[in-house]
Structures are given as C-alpha cells and as structure tokens.
Amino acid sequence: MAAAVADSTTSAPPTDSPKVIFRGNFPGTKTTDFNQWPNLDFEDMDSTLAVQQYIQQTIRRDVSDVEAILKSPETQDEGVWKYEHLRQFSMELNGLAVLLQGECNPKMCTQMTATEQWIFLCAAHKTPKECPAIDYTRHTLDGAACLLNSNKYFPSRISIKECFVAKLASVCRRVYRIFSHAYFHHRVLFDAFEAETHLCRRFTTYVVKYDLMAKEVLIIPMLDSVDVAQPTPISTSPPSFTPLATLPKSESEA
C-alpha cells in the first residue's frame, strides 16, 4: 500500500515552493500509470511503512534483480527486513493463487502434493488434515495474512521482538508448498508466472540467505548454489504419510 509523503491540498502552493509529490494512486488512475512517481532514497522515507515502500520500489525498478531486491539498507533492522519481505511474498503469491484457480480444482488435485513423495497436511483445521490443493493454497495465504497482520505478534512495523521473528520460518515452509505444487503439477502456469515475477527464485534466495528453511526441502531447482532434494523411490510397504506429514505435531502443522 502506497502512502503519501505530503498531503494534497486544494490550494496551489506558492510558485517558489518545492514541488509536492503525492506517492499514491488516485481513484481512476489507469493501470499503466500506477506507481509512476520518482524513486526515493531509503534514508528519505519517513513513513512507518518505509521498508515496505522501499522493497516495492526496488521490485518495480527491476523485478528480475533478486540480489538488489533482497539487499538490506545498512541501517535496517534484520528482523523487520525479513518480516516485510515475507509480507510482500504473501501478497504477490495471491497472483499465483488466482491463476491456479483456473485448473487446480478439487476434483483434479484432491491433495496438496508436490512430488509423489510429498503430501502436506493443512494446519487451518482444528486437527491438521489433508485438503484439496486449491483449498490448502487459500488457507495458507489466509493464515499467513492473519499471522503477519497480528497485533499480538507484530504490533510494530519498525521493530520486532526476536521471539516473534522466529515464527517467520513456519510461514515460509507453508508458503513454499504452494510454489512446489504449482511447479510439479501446473508447470506451464508456473513457468509463465515465474517468467513475469521471478517470485520463486526470489523466495528461494531469501530463505537460503536467512536460513529460514532446510535445504533438503527445497525441491524446486531455482538456484545453482543449492542442491535440490532428489525424489526417493516410493516404498512398497503399507502407506504412510510422507516426511513432512509424519513429523511431530509442531512440525506437521508448520
């Protein structure tokens, strides 16, 4: 959400006054004219939403420059930086969710799976259970939004307690499953979305950079520096849940 640097006024400013720049999209603004205001240095951003604005500004400058997007200003608190990026990922992932709705229906994708070895339980229920993939996607994004907007855990956009920063890893694991399902089961759709947004590559770089996910669960080949987990043969023994689903409750819900 963009914020105004200065309030608009109905009276014209004196001719010798500096030009007032409104950093927002007025009602009726054409899509092609969205966010067409000059870039601002991070040090000059004085809003409580400065980190979000800076991240979005860097994305608009070059969505493919993942390293630049993830590079934190020197004075920025790391916890807030990680938090704001995860908020941004969750918002942008709604675009992938909308695309998935066209072909990922409950009859075709009855479970949230990636490869045949990975079946994920949905933590949105009182007791974690299987969900159709599209429902899992919606529940996961809704849950991420509720947590990341919680006044209990994240009451400030300026500073965050370290004990609450630790909750970000759980959100990352759940969100990554949306990418995984799209990659392995809706590849054409995934490739088109990724070509436009570079979102999965950015997300993978983010979780590796900040050690938010174990490398063995990164199963999408996005980074040359990360060896993705290789699928293992399916056991012929009586069926059981796959690795994530058989973890203790604290992990299966994560």
Binding residues are 104, 109, 181, 186
* Spatial separation of the C-alpha atoms in residues 157 and 160, rounded to whole Å: 7
**Which residue carries 């900040």 as its tokens?**
210
Helices (H), 38-185: 50-61, 66-70, 78-100, 133-148, 162-165, 168-185
Closest CA to 88 of 45, 133, 57: 57
Other residues' Cβ atoms within 10 Å of the Cβ of residue 136 = 25
Q: Which helix (H) or strand (E) holds 205?
A: helix 199-209
Measuring CA to CA, how many Å separate 3 from each of 6, 43, 117, 209, 236? Answer: 9, 16, 45, 29, 57
Q: Residues within the annotated binding site for Zn(2+)? A: 104, 109, 181, 186
